[in-house]
Chains A and B, each alone.
Chain A
Amino acid sequence: MTALSSGTELPFPGLRSGVELVPTNDQPQTGKEYTSDQEVRWCPGCGDYAVLKAVQGFLPDLGLRRENIVFVSGIGCSSRFPYYLDTYGMHSIHGRAPSIATGIATAREDLSVWVVTGDGDALSIGGNHLIHALRRNVNMTILLFNNRIYGLTKGQYSPTSEPGKVTKSTPMGSVDHPFNPVSLALGAEASFVARTIDSDRKHLTSVLSAAAAHRGTSLVEIYQNCPIFNDGAFDAIKGQGEFKDGKADAIIPLVHGEQIRFGAPDEDGRGSKVVVRDHVTGGVKVALAADVEDSAVLVHDAHATDPSTAFAISRLTAADYLHQAPIGIFRAVERPTYDDQARAQVATAREDAPGEPTDKLAALIGSGDTWTVV
C-alpha cells in the first residue's frame, strides 16, 4: 500500500505551523536522546511499542529543542507513554489529559504539546474534555491509541468495541453502540483529524508530522493492537490472520488531491473500488470503478471548509471487525486557535496598559470610590 505513505503536504502551504513558535535545535538529534532511562513495561507484542518507536524516531526530525516538548497522558496502558520519552511529561489522571494540556498550551506558546490517550481514556471518562479541546482548537496533538478495549483494567469492552463484544463485563455480549472516533471529532468541530495504524510506521510518521505541522488541535486515531485482551481487532485492516488477502479491500486510503480508490488493482493498476457521492443519502458510497465514470470518483479534499464530506467518508468505517476503514488525513483546515487568541488578548491588554506591575496594582486596588482618613 504505497499510496498510504505519501501525498501529505508538509507543512501545509500558506498555513501557520503548529510548532512555529517553538525554539528549534541547531544540532542534529537522535532517537536515543528522546529515550528515557525507564524500562518499557508493555506486554510483549503490544502495539504501543511500535508507536513509541515511531515517535522516538520522528521527534528528532521535528528539530525542536527537546526541553520545549511536553507529553501529557491520562490513565491506561497507552498513557504510560510519557515515561519512556526524555522530554517534559505528565502522566495525569483518567480522561483529563486534554484539559491539562490545554492549560500548558495556553500558558506557553513556546511548547510543543502532545497528548497520549486511549479509547477509554479519551472517549469514555474524558469524552467531555476531548470534544471541548477539539472545539476550542488548542494547539496540541492528540494521539488516541484505539485498541477497542480497556487494556489496563484487564479487558472490559470500551466505547469503540464492536456491538456484541464478549468481555469480562459483557459475558452475553455488549449491547453498547460504539463511537467512531473520527466521526466524533469531525462533529466536534475538529480542524485536523487523521487515522493511522500502529504497524505502518511510514504512514504513522507521515501523519504525525502533518499533525505536528498543523496549528490547532490535531486528533490522530491510531489503530493499536492489544494482543492480550483484543488480539486481532485490526486483522482485517492489516491483512493478517483470516484476512490475509483482504487488506486491499479493507483500507480506503485518503490522500489529499487524489481520487479515493482501493481494492484489488484493475488492469491499469488502480484500485477497482472507488468512493463516489451518494445522491440518494447525500453521503458517499463505495462503487465498483468499472460501474462509474472516472469523473464521478471522489477526489479527496482534506482542506474543504465544510466537514460534511469528510464526515461522510468517516462513515465508511465498518463498526464490526473493521472489514473496511478509511485511513489517512480526513481533514486539515486552518481555524484560529484558542491559545493564540487568548494570548493575543492578554498581549493587547498589556500593550494598552503599560507600566510597572506594582504601580498598576496600586492603581487597581485604589480604584473606585475611595476616601482618605488623616
Chain B
Amino acid sequence: MSSQVQKQVKQLDRVIIRFAGDSGDGMQLTGDRFTQESAVFGNDLVTLPNFPAEIRAPQGTLPGVSSFQVHFADHDILTAGDAPDVLVAMNPAALKANLPDLPRGASIIVDTHDFSARNLTKAGYDANPLDLLGDANDPLGDFAVHPVDLTGMTVAAVKEFGLSRKDAARAKNMFALGLLSWMYGRPTESTIAFLTKRFAKVPAIRDANITAFKAGWNFGETTETFAVSYEIKPAPVSAGTYRNISGNLALAYGLVAAGVQSGLPVFLGSYPITPASDILHELSKHKAFGVTTLQAEDEIAGVGAAIGASFAGHLGVTTTSGPGIALKSEAIGLAIMTELPLVVVDVQRGGPSTGLPTKTEQADLLQAMFGRNGEAPMPIVAPQSPGDCFDAALEAARIAVTYRTPVMLLSDGYLANGSEPWRIPEITDLPVIEPNFATERNHVVKPAATAEDGTVTEEERDFWPYLRDEETLARPWAVPGTPGLEHRIGGLEKGEGHGNISYDPANHDFMVRTRQAKVDRIAESLPPLTVDDPSGRAKVLVLGWGSTYGPIGAGVRRVRKAGYDVAQVHLRHLNPFPKDLGEILKRYDKVLVPEMNLGQLSMLLRAKYLVDAIGYNHVRGLPLKAAELAEAIGNLVAEAEGITVDLSTTNDPHTAEEISR
C-alpha cells in the first residue's frame, strides 16, 4: 500500500447520489445495496430507480442506460431529490444521459475504462470529454470530475479467482459501491453478508464480488484522487425497529397481513406486468400464510379466479397495471354487481396503451373511478409512500370485506420500486377485519304461529342474499358449504332483498342508487382528514393523492421555510372522499392540485365541490420536482395574498429541503 493519505472528513446534512451505467452493469443492485447500508446506518432516505423498458437495450447506448438515485439525510426527507450531487457514471452513455440533470458543482465519478472510440460513438460523443478536462472548452468544466479506471482496478483485484475477463469485469459495480461506501462512511457488513448469501453457490463469483467491494473501499482510503470523505449523521426518528422497504414489497406484506387480520386465506389471481409483477412474485413465496397465487392466462382470468375465490370465502386479490385494469373492467363490474369482496391493485405506469412501462404516472384515477359500463361505483384507496403501501393494502381489504365490494388500490411505478425506511408496526396495532360470514337464514317467510287449537307452527325462513346490513348496506356473504343458504348470484340486475333476477324499472333505479349509497357509506368509517396548516393563516391549500405526497411535502416545506403560509392535505381515499373534504376546501382561497396526469383529481373535485381546483400537472414519467412545485405554490401564494414571493433563499440544493418536522 502506498503511504497513507491524510483524509479530511466533512459533515453534510444530506446527499443525493445517482448510480448510472448500462442496464447490464448492475446499477439497480448497486443502488439497492447502498440504500440498505444507509438505512442500517440510520439515515432517512428515499430512492428512485429508473430503468429502460427493454431488459437489455443495445449495450452502451443512451436508451440502455439504467440508473438508481438515492437521497439520504440526517433529517426527515420526502423525495429522492430533484438533482444529484454525485453522479457515478460507468460508461460514456451513462455520463451523457445524466449530465443534463446535474447542478453546477456536482461531483462525477466516472469509470474511464469504457471510454473507447466505439463506445463514445455509440453514446453520441464526437470526442472523448475526458480528454478535454481542464481545457478552456471542457464540456465538464462545471463539475468536479474524478476519472478512475474502475474496471481495470476491479480486474486486477480479483485476478486470483481465475475468472474470465468478462466475469471479472462484472464485479466493477461492487468496486464502485465499495468506493462510495468509503466516501460516505457506510457500514459494510450488510453488503458482505448479502454477497455471501447471493453467490453462495458460485464461490469464485462470491469471492470476486466481496474482494472488489473491499478493494473499492481501500482505494478510497488510500488514493489521492479523493481527499475528502463525508459524514451524514443518522436522522432522529421515533423509536422503533426499522427496515428499508419498497412499495411493492410493502404492498405484498400488507396483503399477507390482511389475510392474517381477517382470518381469510388470500387468493391472488394475476398476470405478469411491469411494474406490478413483483407483488405476484412476493406473494407466491408466502404459501405458509395460506396464500394461493395463480398465474393466470390473462388479466381477465386473473380477476375471474379471484372473484371465484371470494365467492368461495377467500380474500380474492388481483394485481396489475393500467392495461390490465382495462381488461379486467367487465369482471370488476361483475364483482360490483355480485357484491363480493375483492382487492384490485393497479400499479400505475405511463399510458395510454403500453405507454411507458417502467415509468410512473397517476393517470388511471379516472379509469378506476369510471372505467366500467353502467353506474358501477368502486371505492379507491391510494398509498402515499413506499412504506404506506402496507397500510393502504390493509385498508383496501378492510373496505372490501366490510362492505362486500371490489376496491381499487392505486399504487404507481414510483412507489412500487422506490424505497424508504419503514418503522415495522406492532401486530397488535393493525386493524382487525371481520368477515362475518352468513350462517343463518335471514328472511322470515312465515312467522311462528299458534292456532286456536293450540298447534304451534314453527317460523319458516329462507335466505335472501341481498338483504342488507342497515349500517353498512353490505349484503350477507354466504359461502358454498353453508347448509340452507344455497343461492345464485350473477351479473343480471337483482331484485332488492331476495336477489332473484329482476327487470323491474323501479327496482333497477333503487338498486343503482343503493350500490352508490353503499360506497358513499364508507365515508362514515373514515377518520377526519389531517390538515397541515401550521400557522393557520394559509390562503393556499395544496391537495394531492398518492405518490406525489413526497414532492408536495418537500415543495410546501420550501415555501414555508422562505417564510410563507401554505396548507397541505393528502388524500388516501379517492372514492368516496372523506366527509370533511368539502368543508376544508371552502376554507382556502386557492386550491392547488399537483398530479402526474392532466388533472384527474382536479376534475373530480370540481365536479363534486364546485371548487376552482388549479392543476399542477406533469406527465414526464418521473416524480414531480419539489423545486418546480415550490415555485408554483409560491406564485399562487403571491396571487392569493397580493404579495411578492421570493423563494431564492431556499435555492441552494444543500439547504433547500426542509428542516425536520
Given the complex of chains A and B, what is the CA–CA distance between A352 and B286 in angstroms?
12
Interchain CB contact (< 8 A) of B490 among A86, A91, A111, A343 = A91
Smallest Cβ-Cβ distance to A100: which chain B residue: B308
- Asked if A28 lies at the interface with its beta carbon under 8 angstroms from chain B, I say no
Are B305 and A350 in touch, CB under 8 angstroms? no
CB distance from B529 to the nearest CB of A (A): 27
Are A360 and B288 in touch, CB under 8 angstroms? yes
- Asked if A172 lies at the interface with its beta carbon under 8 angstroms from chain B, I say no
- Asked if A15 lies at the interface with its beta carbon under 8 angstroms from chain B, I say no
Q: A108-B313, A350-B287, A365-B424 are in contact. Are A372 and B298 (CB under 8 A)?
A: no
- For window 318-374 of A, CB contacts with B under 8 Å fall at 342-343, 345-346, 348-350, 352-353, 357-358, 360-362, 364-374
Q: What count of chain A residues pass the 8 Å CB interface test?
A: 63
Contacts of B256 in A (CB 8 A): 361, 364
Smallest Cβ-Cβ distance to B300: which chain A residue: A96
Given the complex of chains A and B, what is the CA–CA distance between A103 and B311 in angstroms?
9
Are A106 and B309 in touch, CB under 8 angstroms? yes
CB distance from A349 to the nearest CB of B (A): 4
Interchain CB contact (< 8 A) of A128 among B290, B297, B310 = B297
Contacts of B253 in A (CB 8 A): 364-365
Contacts of B292 in A (CB 8 A): 106-107, 342-343, 346
Q: A106-B292, A358-B260 are in contact. Are A373 and B42 (CB under 8 A)?
A: yes
Residue-wise interface mask of A (82-98) relative to B, using a CB-CB cutoff of 8 A (1 in contact, 0 not): 11001111111100101
Contacts of B301 in A (CB 8 A): 96, 98-99, 102, 128-129, 132
Are A99 and B481 in touch, CB under 8 angstroms? no
Give the bracket for the number of chain B residues in contact with chain A.
35 or more
Contacts of B480 in A (CB 8 A): 67-70, 88, 104, 108, 111
Are B297 and A132 in touch, CB under 8 angstroms? yes
Contacts of A98 in B (CB 8 A): 301
Contacts of A92 in B (CB 8 A): 304, 307, 334, 490-491
- Asked if B257 lies at the interface with its beta carbon under 8 angstroms from chain A, I say yes
Are B289 and A104 in touch, CB under 8 angstroms? no
Q: A83-B488, A99-B296, A369-B243 are in contact. Are A93 and B334 (CB under 8 A)?
A: yes
Are A346 and B260 in touch, CB under 8 angstroms? no
Residue-wise interface mask of A (53-88) relative to B, using a CB-CB cutoff of 8 A (1 in contact, 0 not): 000000000000111111010010000001100111
- Asked if A308 lies at the interface with its beta carbon under 8 angstroms from chain B, I say no
Are A373 and B312 in touch, CB under 8 angstroms? no
Are B308 and A107 in touch, CB under 8 angstroms? yes
Contacts of B310 in A (CB 8 A): 103
- For window 221-242 of B, CB contacts with A under 8 Å fall at 237-242
Q: A107-B292, A362-B427 are in contact. Are A100 and B307 (CB under 8 A)?
A: yes
Are A373 and B238 in touch, CB under 8 angstroms? yes
- Asked if B517 lies at the interface with its beta carbon under 8 angstroms from chain A, I say no
- Asked if A260 lies at the interface with its beta carbon under 8 angstroms from chain B, I say no
Are B287 and A110 in touch, CB under 8 angstroms? no
Interchain CB contact (< 8 A) of B291 among A111, A343, A346 = A346
Contacts of B306 in A (CB 8 A): 103
Q: A90-B311, A103-B309, A128-B298 are in contact. Are A357 and B239 (CB under 8 A)?
A: no
- Asked if B401 lies at the interface with its beta carbon under 8 angstroms from chain A, I say no
- Asked if A197 lies at the interface with its beta carbon under 8 angstroms from chain B, I say no
- For window 276-302 of B, CB contacts with A under 8 Å fall at 286-292, 294, 296-298, 300-302
Are A110 and B308 in touch, CB under 8 angstroms? no
Smallest Cβ-Cβ distance to A96: which chain B residue: B304
Contacts of B265 in A (CB 8 A): 107
Contacts of A100 in B (CB 8 A): 304-305, 307-308, 311
Interchain CB contact (< 8 A) of A90 among B305, B333, B484, B490 = B490
Given the complex of chains A and B, what is the CA–CA distance between A201 and B309 in angstroms?
33
- Asked if B485 lies at the interface with its beta carbon under 8 angstroms from chain A, I say yes
- Asked if B338 lies at the interface with its beta carbon under 8 angstroms from chain A, I say yes
Q: A90-B338, A90-B490, A373-B238 are in contact. Are A129 and B297 (CB under 8 A)?
A: yes
- Asked if B274 lies at the interface with its beta carbon under 8 angstroms from chain A, I say no
- Asked if A24 lies at the interface with its beta carbon under 8 angstroms from chain B, I say no
Are B312 and A111 in touch, CB under 8 angstroms? yes
Are B288 and A349 in touch, CB under 8 angstroms? yes
Are A103 and B307 in touch, CB under 8 angstroms? yes
Are A352 and B288 in touch, CB under 8 angstroms? yes
- Asked if B641 lies at the interface with its beta carbon under 8 angstroms from chain A, I say no
- Asked if A144 lies at the interface with its beta carbon under 8 angstroms from chain B, I say no
Interface-central residue, B291, B310, B488, by most chain A CB under 10 Å: B488
Are A368 and B287 in touch, CB under 8 angstroms? no
- Asked if B267 lies at the interface with its beta carbon under 8 angstroms from chain A, I say yes
Smallest Cβ-Cβ distance to B297: which chain A residue: A132
Contacts of B485 in A (CB 8 A): 67
Given the complex of chains A and B, what is the CA–CA distance between A66 and B215 in angstroms?
71
Contacts of A38 in B (CB 8 A): 500-501
Q: Which A residues have a C-beta under 8 Å from some C-beta of B?
A: 23, 36, 38, 65-70, 72, 75, 82-83, 86-93, 96, 98-108, 110-111, 128-129, 132, 342-343, 345-346, 348-350, 352-353, 357-358, 360-362, 364-374
- 13 additional A-B pairs beyond A83-B488, A107-B312, A373-B240, beta carbons within 8 Å, are A67-B483, A69-B480, A70-B311, A87-B486, A89-B489, A91-B490, A103-B309, A104-B308, A104-B312, A361-B260, A364-B289, A365-B253, A372-B241
A–B Cβ pairs within 8 angstroms, 5 of them: A92-B307, A92-B491, A96-B301, A102-B305, A106-B305
Q: Which 6 pairs from chain A and chain B are nearest by CB?
A: A103-B308, A91-B490, A99-B304, A103-B305, A349-B287, A353-B288
